[in-house]
Structures are given as structure tokens and as C-alpha cells.
Amino acid sequence: MERLIQSSVGEAGFSLSEMVVAVGIVSVLSGMAVFQIGKTRPAAAGDGAMRVVLSQMTAARERAITERRNMRLTFENNAVTTLREEYPGPQVSTLSVVPFEGKAQYLQLGVGDTPDGFVKPTGSTSAVNFPTAPPPAGGGPPEVKFTPDGNFVNQDGLTLNGTIFIGLPSETLSARAVTIFGSTGRIRGYRYNGKAWKPI
């Protein structure tokens, strides 16, 4: 009986060759995981910035409708700023300033226009592209806003279509775009997959 117990105890555990194989497999899988994380990080940063733009534009449109006030938006300094036009004007109140996380910024990475084609009339390479929204006389970003009826217009009340490009410098797979169809207020996000823009 004692011999049986001793022999079974002596055979327990892993051999050196089994341990080497197990460590080798874990090392290969860890290396693959690190490579994949490094590859997907720019895409995740682009997605995060796109979601900021989408959510802030959607919220501004909803507030314009429910509060019956024009809601201005500015897209600069890697943030989205929402301002409410007070009544009676011309005062405005800053409602929110939401920055992008990481190194994402307004950036046209040279991957072409989205399927909506809002940049084609001008061929602009600007990251924030509203072709029919001229900058104010004193300079600064063009005045774009949602009206209480849900339309997206410029400072003259003309309906705007536009595209906002986002990404990380030199990271083509981080390219994202948000388009807006001014007459309906429809907002749509796009991802660039290395070959074409795909709607989300």
C-alpha cells in the first residue's frame, strides 16, 4: 500500500518539456495580443472622437427643438463646444465644451470624401467642412447652428450640409467622419477601413 502511494506521488506534476511547451504557447499568444492592441488603439481613438461629435451634435439638435432656441456649435481645439443663443439676443451661453480623448483631432487624412459627397462641390481639404458657411467678418470659425425646427444652418439662415473629419496624424485607419444633412438634421458617422468609408 505504501509503495502504491509513493509511486503515485512521484508521478504527479509536469515534466520540464511540458512546461517549456506551455510557456512557449503563452509567449506566442501574449505577443499576438500586444500586436493586436497596438494595431487597434488608433481605431479606438478615432471611434471615441467620432462618438463625441455624434453625441454633441445630436444633443444640440434635441435641445434646440425642446428649448426653442438656436444651438450653435464650434469645432476647434479638438473639442466640440455647444452654445445657446439667448432671447432676446445677441447673448450666448456656453452649455458644454467636450474635448476628444487621446491624440484625436480634427484632421483630413487625405482618404477622400464620404459617400454623402458633401465636400465634392469645393474639393476642400479642411477637416471641418461646411462649404456654404463663410467665416464671420471678424474671423474665427463659421457660425453653424441647429434651429428650433431641427434644421442645421449658417449665420444667414441658409441650410448647411457638411462633413467633419477626425483622426490621428499618420494613422489612416483612425480616419472617421461625421456628416450632417442640414434640411433634415440627419447626422451620420463613417469609419474608414483602409479602402472605403463605411457607415456605422
Given this model, what pLDDT does residue 28 score?
82
Given this model, what pLDDT does residue 10 score?
55
Given this model, what pLDDT does residue 7 score?
52
141 pLDDT higher than 80: no
Of 81, 114, 86, give the one whose Cα is nearest residue 193.
114
For residue 124, what is the DSSP state?
A: -
- Ranges 16-20, 28-32, 71-75, 93-97: which has the least confidence: 28-32
Q: What is the mean pLDDT of residues 161-182?
A: 93
Alpha-carbon dihedral sign for residues 56, 61, 64, 70: positive
Q: Is 184 exposed, middle or buried (0-12, 13-18, 19+ CB in 10 A)?
A: exposed
d(CA 153, CA 172): 31
Place of cell 509567449: 27
SS3 77: coil
User: What are 106's three cell numbers?
Assistant: 480634427
Of 114, 103, 122, give the one whose Cα is nearest residue 176.
114
So what CATH class is 43-199? alpha beta
Residues in the chain: 200
Given this model, what pLDDT does residue 8 score?
52
Check if the beta carbon of residue 48 is closer than 8 Å to that of residue 101. yes
